[in-house]
């Protein structure tokens, strides 16, 4: 777990940045109403978390067809209301699906599929006429759609906040109240965590993106699952990137939530033009 310790120190340095720094855009927005109106005028349907297709292998052991795979995720969100709720909040639905695909094994079987629908309320946070972040409360379900011994399932009420430091940097945190109904994963918090913190960075020319997330597993020691992504944008005219994806820890998929994985993968990333949700 030496990779996790180094990245943890990097993350702690980022979290120490001032959270109320101004955000500037190509056309600066001067008041809360214009910020909210601009948000409401955007398409209601779009990308939520990163959408990617990456393939790779284990770093902590000899690569074989059994520890090499393809991982992909699709994620989208639909805004159900404009910002008409109290504090300029809005209601939305989200759906994410993640898959581990054993393409190097005979018959190319899917190892696990994880389904994550949710409904939530999001509030844009405006300070001195500047957008400085957004907060979200969401009810989420996550399961792998299987039965018997392979069944994994849990629900959670999650609370998150993302602070926009400037147009190139965001720092975020998320915690949850778990409702564990899966009989085969009663100890899921020990592996999939109790909260997460992270940061996203976009280069000045918007060609490079990078993000790091630390998921704190249950317990008092520094036991984190670590996800690190680096992407290079093919063209300024689109939102497709060449992506390097690193995962170190437990809980990468629900079926193997209690098994340690250290994987490096490369592939294609599609993400929003601004920051991705998490």
Contact (CB, 8 A) for 175 and 197:
no
- Structure tokens that stand for 12 in this block: 């702690």
SS3 assignment, position 53: strand
Contact 130, 23 (CB under 8 A): yes
Q: How far is CA 24 from the centre of its chain?
A: 24
The conformation of residue 80, written as its DSSP 8-state character, comes to -
pLDDT mean values, one per 10 residues, the chain (278 residues): 45 36 39 78 92 96 94 97 89 98 95 98 87 94 96 98 93 97 95 97 94 96 96 90 98 98 97 81
Tokens of 134: 């957004």
3-class SS at 219? coil
pLDDT of residue 31: 67
pLDDT at 57: 97
Residue with tokens 């957004």: 134
The CA-to-CA distance between both ends of the chain, in Å, stands at 23
pTM: 0.87
**Other Cβ atoms closer than 10 A to 197:** 21
Q: Is 196 exposed, middle or buried (0-12, 13-18, 19+ CB in 10 A)?
A: buried
Sign of CA dihedral 270, 272, 274, 278: negative
């Amino acid at each position: 777990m030496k990779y996790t310790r180094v990245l943890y120190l990097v993350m702690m340095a980022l979290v120490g940045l001032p959270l109320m720094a101004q955000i500037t855009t190509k056309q600066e927005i001067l008041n809360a109403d214009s910020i909210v109106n601009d948000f409401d005028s955007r398409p209601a349907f779009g990308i939520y978390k990163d959408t990617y297709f990456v393939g790779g292998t284990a770093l902590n052991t000899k690569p074989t067809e059994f520890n090499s795979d393809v991982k992909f995720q699709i994620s989208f969100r639909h805004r159900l209301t404009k910002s008409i709720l109290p504090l300029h909040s809005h209601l939305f639905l989200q759906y994410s699906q993640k898959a581990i695909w054993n393409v190097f094994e005979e018959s190319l079987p899917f190892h696990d599929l994880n389904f994550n629908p949710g409904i939530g309320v999001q509030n844009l946070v405006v300070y001195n006429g500047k957008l400085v972040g957004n907060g979200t409360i969401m009810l989420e379900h996550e399961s792998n759609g299987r039965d018997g011994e392979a069944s994994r399932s849990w629900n959670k009420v999650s609370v998150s906040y993302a602070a926009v430091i400037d147009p190139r940097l965001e720092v975020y945190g998320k915690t949850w109240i778990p409702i564990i109904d899966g009989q085969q994963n009663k100890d899921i918090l020990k592996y999939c965590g109790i909260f997460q913190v992270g940061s996203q960075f976009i280069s000045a020319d918007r060609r490079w993106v990078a993000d790091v997330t630390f998921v704190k597993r249950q317990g008092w020691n520094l036991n984190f699952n670590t996800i690190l992504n680096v992407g290079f944008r093919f063209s300024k005219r689109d939102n497709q990137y060449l992506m390097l994806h690193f995962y170190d820890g437990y809980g990468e998929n629900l079926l193997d939530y209690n098994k340690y994985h250290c994987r490096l993968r490369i592939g294609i990333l599609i993400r929003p033009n601004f920051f991705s949700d998490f």
